[in-house]
Structure 1
Amino acid sequence: MLQAIGLTSFPRRQLPPAVDDLTFEAGSGQVTALLGAPGSGKTTALRLMLELEPGRGVTYLRGRPLHRVAHPAREVGVLLGDVPGHPARTARGQLRMLCAAAGVPAARADDMLELVGLAGLGDQRLGTFSLGMDRRLGLASALLGDPHTLLLDEPAEGLSPRENSWLYGLLRGHAAQGGTVLYTTSEAKEAARTADRVVTIEGGRLVADQEAVEFARTRLRPRVAVRTPHAARLGALVSKEARAAQRSVEVVAEDGNRLSVYGSDCAQIGETAFRHGILVHQLADEIGDTGPAPAVKPPRAPAGARTPTTAPGPPRQPLRPARSPLRPLRYELRRLLGTRTTFLIAAAVLAVSVTLSVLLARTVGTPLPSMLAAWPDILPLPPAAFGAGLLGALAFGDEFRYPALASARGTVPRRLGLLLAKLAVSAATALLLALLVAVADAEALHLVYGRDLLQVPGKWPSLVASWVGLAVGCAWAGLLGAGVFRATAAGVAAVLAVPVVVAPAVQKLVLAPSARSVAGLPGRLRELVWLEWPYELDRWLLATMRLMAQPVGAALALSLSALLCAYLFVGLRRRVRW
């Protein structure tokens, strides 16, 4: 059972709240429709239930608020709008990535594709899906964790009658197994036909909470809508004439100067008004929702006025932080390998590196490390390092552009598990790309110029360490830059800023007269700390510090430190705000 108690959204720009003290229940084994006209607050109400919108009130899912549910994907399935997946990802790849996020077996993806009728379209790209196929995939995503409760926002909007029938048949089947289904709609006839209970709201406030049979009987009857400045007088005259003629006529006074007359027609009402000289502004036959019940509502605050808060009001509803994947490493691998972008970037890097390496070998005096890295002096970074940085930037950039972890929030969680998984996968990708580039360049040089050109350098360990550190550092700079500024372009800018901006500044500091040499650093560290370490480690420590003392290495270290601190600061600030 779902219980929404006192849901109230915070007003924005001095406007009244979109949802105001909304309280209702959606029972287990039932399909409940949340009915309202566009702009009545239906979507905001769902977001308040999911703790995605700031406000007050509480929503209990089988007796527990959502922020106290350990695994929300296994308790509630959500469909808010379209599926926000990468258009180049396949339907099966999208669901398997979400399986890793929900902590369910990957085989569940194929089961859900078969359940929603997409078994033969698992390898089709999301960008080619029609609206009906997208809704089917959205339902499959909502059902991945086998949730008890389904919350769906306008699931049938724009669907054909056949797809409509299939959709509500699936929802009815979920409810028949004991689940709770709550969906929003603006069609009164659809709510009466497909739901067991209809909750009607207008202006964010509860209007009626009825069984579907009662709703259809009392609010879907044919009626005559009348607007007149003399509504009370006309209503009394219509009722008097109906009693005299022994006709069953019901007159309901709505808000303002509106009447709803049941059991009559426009001709009879018009003749009554004409005989008694009553001015009529509207006279029309209607079938559908009648709007708000004839109850006294508190006046709305005008624009520009502050809405007073009642005391004691409903409890403040905490914003639920977006959940990290339960299996972050598996999630990140499927995200990386689920589109062609990764392979296209790797292929482009290899092609450019081989071409530059062969061209650099024609230049007299070019050192072998520069040829193997395909790094001419005119480029700020070698292609492999830039490609690693671009893949790192896409790791967070695609998350913010096509959010999968928190589709309703439009952002990704800043959790340590997801960050570590992205750092590990981006580092492994950078190492693999750097290795492939070095091997491909060496083979290209061997094929074009022969084996005599390839001589193993004497300081190959330090060169390898520098190459690895450059590739991994660029990948992490792109990853953290995109994570802080929520855009792939920001991650790429962070990568390019290392050799263009930070490295020259570091070089000036290194060459300054006050700069000290790292030659005696191990000895100075022994004097400062009380721990003793083997003297064999001094050589490795000195080599590491020499690498860090290089302008690019020091620039990477400074940039990574600043980006990591910024990432943690932004994540901590958002968590405090929640």
Structure 2
Amino acid sequence: MIQAIGLTSDPRKQLPPAVDDVSFEACAGRVTALLGASGAGKTTALRLMLELQRGRGITYFRGRPLHRIAHPSREVGVLMGEVPGHPARTVRGHLRMLCAAAGVPARRADEVLEVVGLVSLRDERLGTLSRGMDRRLGLACALLADPHTLVLDEPADGLSTRESRWLYGMLRAHAAQGGTVLLTTADPKEAARTADRVVTLERGRLVADQEAADFSRTRLRPRVAVRSPHASRLAALLTKEARTAQRSVEVVREGGNRLSVYGSTCAAVGETAYRHGILVHQLADEIGDMGPGAATDVSHLVTESQIGAAQSAPVGEAITTRDRGRETTASPALVPAPGKAVDTAGDLTALPDAPPTPGGKPYTPQARTSEPRPADAPTEGDGPTKDEGPTEGEGSTAGEGPSSRSAGPRPPASSVDALPDLPPPISVRPAPSPLRPLRYELRRAAGVGTGFLTSAAVLMVSALTAVLLARIGHTPHHRLLVAWPRELPLPPAALGAGLLGAIAFGDEFRHPALAADRGTVPRRLGLLAAKLLVASATALVLAVLTVGCDIEVLYLVYGRELAEVPADWLWLSASWIGLVVGCAWAGVLAAGLFRSTTAGLAAVVAVPILLVPLVRKVMEGPSVRTAAGFPLRLREVLLSQWPFGGERYLAAVARVVAQPVGGALTLSLAALLAAYLLTTVRSRVR
């Protein structure tokens, strides 16, 4: 179950907080709806519960706050907004990548695809999915790790009636297996039809926390919708007959030629119109919403059978009748009864069960088991505290506004000592994911064609540059083989490796693959090591392919003379590989530090443009002239007795580092790595 206690968002300058002291429970085995109009604070409440936004309060998921759960994605499945993912990634590739992040087998992706009915679309790109298919994929992402709790923000927003019924059937099946489902909605009709419990928010405060039956009894009631060109005359006749018969009937003029009649039936209204010869264009049973703000919500005045055939009119003046000795006024809006759906004939039919999968089997997730809760955590049987909103049965009724607690004035500063302690602050903490970083990174890098297209472009540009440099002349042979003219700060292969490294982190923040877990990509050393390893392998392959392609093209165009391998190929190879891998690492670290692909590429370009001149200037000074023969002296002192010729490789590395470009790149990598580790430590301390 979910227990949210004292959720309060941080103040917004001169505005009140979006969520103010909201407390409620969502029990296991039930569907709980968080109801409220746009701007009521539903999404902010969910973000506070998931520790995605700073504020105050605490939320227990089966007795534990989210930051105390080892693997949050296995406990809470989240769907907020669009499905987070690169639009060029395939549906199956996206789910397999999330499988590595959640630490579940890759075959789980195919299982959830079958459950949500996306097997035929598994090779489609995310950017080509329709709204309904996107919602199905979002539910698949939420169910991927078989969580006990589902938290969904407006899951049926923009869906058709058929897609909405399918979605709510899935959620009902999850709750029937012992899971907890919490969803938000702005439609009282939807909340009454799909939820077992309705928690109503208004202007960031809790105004009602009711069972679905109590919500229907206190806020919803039936009415007769009438359209007639003689609406005023018919309203007067209905009012006169109700007073004569001493019946409790309310007639509300909705505007134009529309009436809403409460406390009567279609038969009674039709008979009155027939006796007096009044033409009626519409006569239908509806369900009205008498909660706060119903008079301004005109969008729910039309039944499902009238969508596209009738237009809602602005709410006009209300015509009152005497109800047992007192005058009453109503301003309703439409919501059907809980657990029912209005079909095209206007009858109420029960919602279908969970839809079958393409294989013909119903969705049956694993049975949910409860976990031990800490001794200091509130138990399921505890009632609401005095800071919580109205309890069951205290929901707002017709003509009743927000509760006195939420609408009343704040106590003066002099009585602050009598107030209870504030709830603990909510801190945004990084998520401990992915659980399998190397597998996750490999699937992330290979799941889109950006890396392959970038590598192909680098090879083509490098080959053309090598041909042009050979034709112009005046280029050293070793720079010709890597297509590195003196006019460019870096060769194409180094720039391409830096771009691929920057995309490794920058792509995450533009299309965060882990947002379904807790938010943006965390600063984990395991994830950083995986990215550096994959970037190194990619840069190494790119460096070898670049030299091979350049030699082959030079051989085809100019013959064997320009395609010969230099005599000092060992240290040149070490220098070339070190340059390309170093640029890739610089791109990874800078993009992870500044959370931007552009910043990662800028850090790569800044090495030869800014740092190399500084390093050259320092190395030309008198204090470092003695370092000119460092590789030779190092080999004479330390490497003379190394087996298998190991001194040759270390001398090549020392020679590379002693160069201005190598020294500048080493300095840049050291600075970026230190900054990245510093931000990681600071985030953990918080």
Q: TM-score, normalised by structure 2?
A: 0.73
Q: Which structure 2 residue ranges, 5 or more long, are not aligned?
A: 225-238, 251-261, 264-288, 296-315, 336-395
1:296 corresponds to 2:404: yes
Residues in 2 aligned to 1:267 and 1:348: alpha-carbon distance in whole angstroms: 69
1:489 corresponds to 2:598: yes
Tell me which residue corresponds to 2:616.
507
Q: Which structure 1 residue ranges, 5 or more long, are not aligned?
A: 225-237, 259-265
Tell me which residue corresponds to 2:246.
245
Tell me which residue corresponds to 1:233.
none
Residues 300 and 502 from structure 1, CA distance in 2 versus in 1: closer, same or farther, beyond 3 angstroms? farther
Q: How far off is 1:170 after superposition?
A: 0.6
Which amino acid in the other structure matches residue 245 of structure 1? Q
Tell me which residue corresponds to 1:188.
188
CA contact (8 A) 1:9 1:56 kept: yes
Tell me which residue corresponds to 1:458.
567
Residues in 2 aligned to 1:268 and 1:444: alpha-carbon distance in whole angstroms: 86
CA contact (8 A) 1:153 1:183 kept: yes
Tell me which residue corresponds to 2:154.
154
Which amino acid in the other structure matches residue 403 of structure 2? A
Matches within 5 A, 1:274-289: 284-288=331-335
CA contact (8 A) 1:368 1:454 kept: no
Query: Secondary structure of the equivalent of 1:370?
Result: helix
Residues 44 and 427 from structure 1, CA distance in 2 versus in 1: closer, same or farther, beyond 3 angstroms? same
Query: Secondary structure of the equivalent of 1:181?
Result: strand
CA contact (8 A) 2:431 2:519 kept: no
Which amino acid in the other structure matches residue 219 of structure 1? R
Q: Deviations over 1:393-420 (max 9, x none)?
A: 1001101111111358652111101110
CA contact (8 A) 1:40 1:202 kept: yes
Residues in 1 aligned to 2:659 and 2:638: alpha-carbon distance in whole angstroms: 27
Tell me which residue corresponds to 1:82.
82
Residues 254 and 405 from structure 1, CA distance in 2 versus in 1: closer, same or farther, beyond 3 angstroms? closer
Which amino acid in the other structure matches residue 473 of structure 1? G
Query: Secondary structure of the equivalent of 2:564?
Result: coil
Residues 223 and 313 from structure 1, CA distance in 2 versus in 1: closer, same or farther, beyond 3 angstroms? farther
Query: Secondary structure of the equivalent of 1:201?
Result: strand
2:669 pairs, out of 534, 555, 560, with 560
Q: Deviations over 1:309-337 (max 9, x none)?
A: 94412222343323320000011111111
Moved more, 496-505 or 426-435: 496-505
Residues in 2 aligned to 1:294 and 1:435: alpha-carbon distance in whole angstroms: 70
Tell me which residue corresponds to 1:262.
none
Residues in 2 aligned to 1:543 and 1:246: alpha-carbon distance in whole angstroms: 101
Residues 12 and 285 from structure 1, CA distance in 2 versus in 1: closer, same or farther, beyond 3 angstroms? closer
Which amino acid in the other structure matches residue 556 of structure 2? L
CA contact (8 A) 1:191 1:198 kept: yes
Q: How far off is 1:429 after superposition?
A: 0.3
CA contact (8 A) 1:36 1:202 kept: yes
Which amino acid in the other structure matches residue 371 of structure 1? L
Query: Secondary structure of the equivalent of 1:32?
Result: strand
Residues 534 and 146 from structure 1, CA distance in 2 versus in 1: closer, same or farther, beyond 3 angstroms? farther
Q: How far off is 1:45 after superposition?
A: 1.1
Tell me which residue corresponds to 1:101.
101
CA contact (8 A) 2:92 2:122 kept: yes
Moved more, 534-543 or 247-256: 247-256
Q: How far off is 1:445 after superposition?
A: 1.6
Residues in 2 aligned to 1:409 and 1:325: alpha-carbon distance in whole angstroms: 11
Residues in 1 aligned to 2:321 and 2:436: alpha-carbon distance in whole angstroms: 72
Tell me which residue corresponds to 2:490.
381
Residues in 2 aligned to 1:539 and 1:294: alpha-carbon distance in whole angstroms: 81
Tell me which residue corresponds to 1:200.
200
Query: Secondary structure of the equivalent of 1:362?
Result: helix
Residues 300 and 25 from structure 1, CA distance in 2 versus in 1: closer, same or farther, beyond 3 angstroms? same
Matches within 5 A, 1:47-58: 47-58=47-58
Tell me which residue corresponds to 2:67.
67
Which amino acid in the other structure matches residue 374 of structure 1? A
Tell me which residue corresponds to 1:312.
421
Query: Secondary structure of the equivalent of 1:208?
Result: strand
Residues 301 and 126 from structure 1, CA distance in 2 versus in 1: closer, same or farther, beyond 3 angstroms? farther
Matches within 5 A, 1:6-45: 6-45=6-45
Which amino acid in the other structure matches residue 334 of structure 1? R
Matches within 5 A, 1:405-424: 405-407=514-516, 411-424=520-533
Residues 532 and 450 from structure 1, CA distance in 2 versus in 1: closer, same or farther, beyond 3 angstroms? closer
Residues 521 and 163 from structure 1, CA distance in 2 versus in 1: closer, same or farther, beyond 3 angstroms? same
Residues in 2 aligned to 1:412 and 1:112: alpha-carbon distance in whole angstroms: 24
Tell me which residue corresponds to 1:229.
none
Tell me which residue corresponds to 1:230.
none
Which amino acid in the other structure matches residue 495 of structure 1? V
CA contact (8 A) 1:208 1:293 kept: no
Tell me which residue corresponds to 2:462.
353
Moved more, 286-295 or 121-130: 286-295
2:450 pairs, out of 333, 336, 341, with 341
Q: How far off is 1:75 after superposition?
A: 0.7
1:468 pairs, out of 566, 577, 581, with 577
Residues in 2 aligned to 1:534 and 1:38: alpha-carbon distance in whole angstroms: 76
Q: How far off is 1:255 after superposition?
A: 8.5
Residues in 2 aligned to 1:463 and 1:541: alpha-carbon distance in whole angstroms: 13
CA contact (8 A) 1:518 1:546 kept: no
Residues 574 and 535 from structure 1, CA distance in 2 versus in 1: closer, same or farther, beyond 3 angstroms? same
Matches within 5 A, 1:383-402: 383-402=492-511
Which amino acid in the other structure matches residue 81 of structure 2? G
Matches within 5 A, 1:103-252: 103-222=103-222, 245=246, 247=248
Tell me which residue corresponds to 2:274.
none
Residues in 2 aligned to 1:571 and 1:300: alpha-carbon distance in whole angstroms: 44
Residues 5 and 533 from structure 1, CA distance in 2 versus in 1: closer, same or farther, beyond 3 angstroms? farther
Q: Deviations over 1:180-223 (max 9, x none)?
A: 11100011111111111111121222222211122112211158
Percent identity among equivalent residues? Answer: 63
Which amino acid in the other structure matches residue 295 of structure 1? S
Residues 457 and 534 from structure 1, CA distance in 2 versus in 1: closer, same or farther, beyond 3 angstroms? closer
Q: Deviations over 1:152-191 (max 9, x none)?
A: 0000011000100110011011111111111000111111
Q: How many residues align?
A: 543
CA contact (8 A) 1:28 1:180 kept: yes
RMSD of Structure 2 on Structure 1 (CA): 3.5
Q: How far off is 1:467 after superposition?
A: 0.3
Residues 101 and 255 from structure 1, CA distance in 2 versus in 1: closer, same or farther, beyond 3 angstroms? closer
Which amino acid in the other structure matches residue 42 of structure 2? K
CA contact (8 A) 2:17 2:204 kept: yes
1:518 pairs, out of 616, 624, 627, with 627
